[in-house]
Amino acid sequence: MDTYLILSALAGVVALLFAFFLASSISKANAGNERMREIAGYIHEGAMAFLYREYRYLVIFAIAVFIILSIFINWQTAVCYIAGALCSVLAGYIGMQVATKANVRTTEAARNGMGQAIKIAFSGGAVMGMSVAGLGVLGLGAMFLLFAKDVNYIAGFGLGASSIALFARVGGGIYTKAADVGADLVGKVEAGIPEDDPRNPAVIADNVGDNVGDVAGMGADLFESYVGSLISAFTLGVLIFKGGEGVLFPIALCALGIIASIIGILVGRGSNADNPQAALNMGTYVAGGITVVAAGVLSMWLFGDLKAFLALTAGLIAGLAIGKVTEIYTSGDYGSVKKIAEQSQTGPATTIISGMAVGMYSTMWPMLFITAGMLVSYFVMGGGLKGLYGIALAAVGMLSTTGITVAVDAYGPISDNAGGIAEMSELPHSVREVTDKLDAVGNTTAAIAKGFAIGSAALTALALFASYAQSVKLDAIDLLDPLTLAGLFLGAMVPFLFGALTMEAVGKAANEMIEEVRRQFREIPGLMEGKAKAEYATCVDIATGAALHKMVVPGTLAVVLPLAVGLILGTESLAGFVAGALVTGVLMAVFMANAGGAWDNAKKYIEGGEYGGKGSNTHKAAVVGDTVGDPFKDTSGPAMNILIKLMTIVSLVFAPVFVKYGGLVSHLLK
């Protein structure tokens, strides 16, 4: 069994080698003329500046947590924590390095049509995907084997991944929207210059934001889910199956998922370039198909039946279904978006009301699918502890092809960047047309990836929730106990608080950005005429600083609140707290992401010529919806994924402390 375990972990090395192969093939591509390279250089520098500044915060944060873990838990968990954080950082670093190389090379390739451009952009995304999956399997596998397969320590690895995800996703989300709003409001609206115009001082920050938020942020989010679901499956698997098959099944599946993702990526890169959407879809289906077959074989081999396979497939289907629903509610091809566009005719208020209604409606199906996925995976495994293991497998199933999921998603911002570079380098309009087409494909796939991110976050948090209950030895979490109910009430409130904090953060950061852009237009002579250069670096610096400052409060809350509830109200109350946060967190995530996506595409639908097209009053109303939707879909909504996973894993890691010292007040009351 050990040999297989080691082999599975080594699949991570294969993933990294493949990422290396893709990265060097990108490096070899032509990076365009001097102007293009200069602009790409700014973006690259800006992205790296964000990373390095983030690392400074991170180091302090990580050292503090390391010390706390060493004192209150044990040094092994602390080591796992550092390993998890390092793996996530490394994946993000590799992904960003390559994405900021792939963007300009995609632009250059787009001068000769779609064929080569899609290949480079997709390869760029695939590097991020392979790094996430590879470092996840390798890092977690190494820790598991290092500590003699004792599952008590590896939750630390998940906590490490969660910490980085917090910085990358929440900080990145604030960054990208602050830069976006700043660039749009002063550049497009006040100065009246087009999008991605090099005279706009915030334009580089805006392009950096795409990388920071959509490449690194999404990558860290899925890395966290990926290792979280594995940790939960490991914890429960060791408890139930004594022969090691409970651990081998999920990790071997992820190893095969990596191989399947590599095949899928090769299919995606090689297939017909005239239809990029079909190419991406084909790659995804091939990878999914292989994984499902592999799951069936593994299930028969390890358990002698297909139960584990069915549990896992339930998760996969739920993930796909959520993705499809996300598309239906947010794509311009369907009724919801068209209705928002229609309602925009009576002004911005009706745009907002109808978008909110769409977002609220859209929570129904994902909740049903998550519930169904959970029930099927639980009961198909026979309920009880095995059933909980089944839920963990459903999460693993959704995430086993993370390699290609991230690849398809990160491809979007790379194409978006490529378009920006084409614009800023004043390349012929035909180049921009090609990158726009690539970007449009990216938008649809990004919506689906968001659905996947939410679904997997929910199932992962559920599985970790079950692990937590095991860990603190709760036989039941009784809602008739008012302490549990109190936890439920308080936990359910946290996503609302988190949403308010992150939306406000975007607003404040955007205001700083707006001030700076206005200052540059005012103080730099000749900037408007294109004779002087804008100070891009100052804008990048402001966005970076603001994003990192503004995430301190929500980030601290996400860590401190579960600790406070556990210590004051006790383990059962904390379970209620986590359940409450999980349930409203998922609802708010879906609501905000889909309302935001629907507003975005309603605006695009009108720009396509409906209801008076660009510049009409209807369009103006739709722009209001889009602006409201920006922090909804790119900051607060995705931040919920992190919140629910982070609070659950904090509870799991600190379980021993709660058992010992928890419930200070509740003991007094009882």
Of residues 362-381, which lie at the interface with its own copies (CB under 8 A)? 363-364, 367-368, 370-371, 374-375, 378-379
Residue closer to its own copies, measured from CB, 370 or 543: 370
List, in sequence order, the alpha helices (H) in 32-150: 34-72, 75-110, 114-146
Tokens 């409970």 locate to: 246
Nearest to 233 by CA among 378, 395, 85: 395
Residues 67-126 within binding reach of its own copies (CB under 8 A) = none
Residue closer to its own copies, measured from CB, 245 or 630: 630
Q: Does 346 bind its own copies (CB under 8 A)?
A: yes
Cα distance from N-terminal residue to C-terminal residue, the chain:
48
d(CA 19, CA 124): 9
Minimum CB–partner distance for residue 435 and its own copies (Å): 27
CB 344 within 8 A of CB 629: no
d(CA 410, CA 413): 6
Residue closer to its own copies, measured from CB, 382 or 526: 382
Candidates 47, 490, 513, 558; binder of its own copies (CB under 8 A) is: 490
Residue closer to its own copies, measured from CB, 69 or 388: 388
Q: Does 479 bind its own copies (CB under 8 A)?
A: yes
Quickly list DSSP for 489-525.
HHHHHHHHHHHHHHHHHHHHHHHHHHHHHHHHHHHST
Residue closer to its own copies, measured from CB, 31 or 463: 463
Options 17-25, 48-56, 216-224, 585-593: segment touching its own copies (CB under 8 A): 585-593
Residue closer to its own copies, measured from CB, 13 or 479: 479
Q: Is 532 left (phi over 0), alpha (psi -120 to 50) or beta?
A: beta
Minimum CB–partner distance for residue 428 and its own copies (Å): 34
CB 87 within 8 A of CB 135: yes
In the numeric block, which tokens belong to residue 417? 């960047």
> What are the angstrom distances between the C-alpha of 652 and each of 146, 265, 465, 636?
21, 35, 8, 24
CB 179 within 8 A of CB 202: yes
Q: Using CA of residue 478, residue 484, residue 485, residue 487, what is the dihedral sign? A: negative
Minimum CB–partner distance for residue 474 and its own copies (Å): 7
In the numeric block, which tokens belong to residue 221? 């989010």
In degrees rounded to 5, what are phi and psi of residue 154? -70, -15
Minimum CB–partner distance for residue 556 and its own copies (Å): 16
The DSSP secondary-structure symbol of 611 reads: G
d(CA 141, CA 377): 24
For 2, half-sphere exposure in the C-beta direction (CA atoms, 13 angstrom radius) is 4
Residues 379-438 within binding reach of its own copies (CB under 8 A) = 379, 383, 387-388, 391
Candidates 64, 349, 528, 532; binder of its own copies (CB under 8 A) is: 349
Residue closer to its own copies, measured from CB, 504 or 535: 504
Minimum CB–partner distance for residue 482 and its own copies (Å): 4
Contact letters for its own copies, residues 253-272 (x by CB under 8 A): --------------------
Minimum CB–partner distance for residue 48 and its own copies (Å): 30
Minimum CB–partner distance for residue 588 and its own copies (Å): 9
Residues 623-662 within binding reach of its own copies (CB under 8 A) = 623-624, 627-628, 631
d(CA 218, CA 450): 9
In the numeric block, which tokens belong to residue 144? 């598991």
CB 532 within 8 A of CB 199: no
Contact letters for its own copies, residues 561-580 (x by CB under 8 A): --------------xx--xx
Residue closer to its own copies, measured from CB, 119 or 177: 177
In the numeric block, which tokens belong to residue 632? 């909804």
Q: Does 616 bind its own copies (CB under 8 A)?
A: no
Residues 451-470 within binding reach of its own copies (CB under 8 A) = 462, 466, 469
Minimum CB–partner distance for residue 116 and its own copies (Å): 39
Nearest to 606 by CA among 627, 630, 622: 622
Q: Does 556 bind its own copies (CB under 8 A)?
A: no
Residues 225-254 within binding reach of its own copies (CB under 8 A) = none
List, in sequence order, the alpha helices (H) in 241-275: 245-270
Residue closer to its own copies, measured from CB, 68 or 557: 557
Q: Does 560 bind its own copies (CB under 8 A)?
A: no
Minimum CB–partner distance for residue 361 and its own copies (Å): 4
Minimum CB–partner distance for residue 590 and its own copies (Å): 9
Options 58-66, 74-82, 242-250, 471-479: segment touching its own copies (CB under 8 A): 471-479
Residues 183-222 within binding reach of its own copies (CB under 8 A) = 185
The DSSP secondary-structure symbol of 194 reads: P
Q: Does 13 bind its own copies (CB under 8 A)?
A: no
Minimum CB–partner distance for residue 565 and its own copies (Å): 11
Minimum CB–partner distance for residue 175 and its own copies (Å): 17
Minimum CB–partner distance for residue 507 and its own copies (Å): 6
Minimum CB–partner distance for residue 525 and its own copies (Å): 27
475: Cβ contacts below 8 Å, ≥ 6 apart: none
What does R_g of the chain's alpha carbons equal in angstroms?
24
Q: Is 539 left (phi over 0), alpha (psi -120 to 50) or beta?
A: alpha
Residue closer to its own copies, measured from CB, 273 or 360: 360
Minimum CB–partner distance for residue 79 and its own copies (Å): 31
Nearest to 658 by CA among 463, 465, 473: 473
Tokens 């996530």 locate to: 88
Residues 491-530 within binding reach of its own copies (CB under 8 A) = 492-493, 496-497, 499-500, 503-504, 506-507
Quickly list DSSP for 614-662.
TTSHHHHHHHHHHHHHHHIIIIIHHHHHHHHHHHHHHHHHTHHHHHHH-
Residues 17-36 within binding reach of its own copies (CB under 8 A) = none
Candidates 63, 64, 552, 669; binder of its own copies (CB under 8 A) is: 669
In the numeric block, which tokens belong to residue 195? 């999008």
CA angle 26, 27, 32 (to 5 degrees): 95
Options 58-66, 92-100, 227-235, 348-356: segment touching its own copies (CB under 8 A): 348-356
Residue closer to its own copies, measured from CB, 359 or 562: 359
Candidates 361, 436, 538, 616; binder of its own copies (CB under 8 A) is: 361
List, in sequence order, the alpha helices (H) in 271-306: 276-303
Q: Does 482 bind its own copies (CB under 8 A)?
A: yes
Q: Using CA of residue 216, residue 217, residue 222, residue 224, what is the dihedral sign? A: positive
Residues 589-608 within binding reach of its own copies (CB under 8 A) = 591
Residue closer to its own copies, measured from CB, 164 or 587: 587
Minimum CB–partner distance for residue 253 and its own copies (Å): 22
Minimum CB–partner distance for residue 55 and its own copies (Å): 30
Residue closer to its own copies, measured from CB, 234 or 369: 369
140: Cβ contacts below 8 Å, ≥ 6 apart: 9, 84, 154, 157, 227, 230, 231, 251
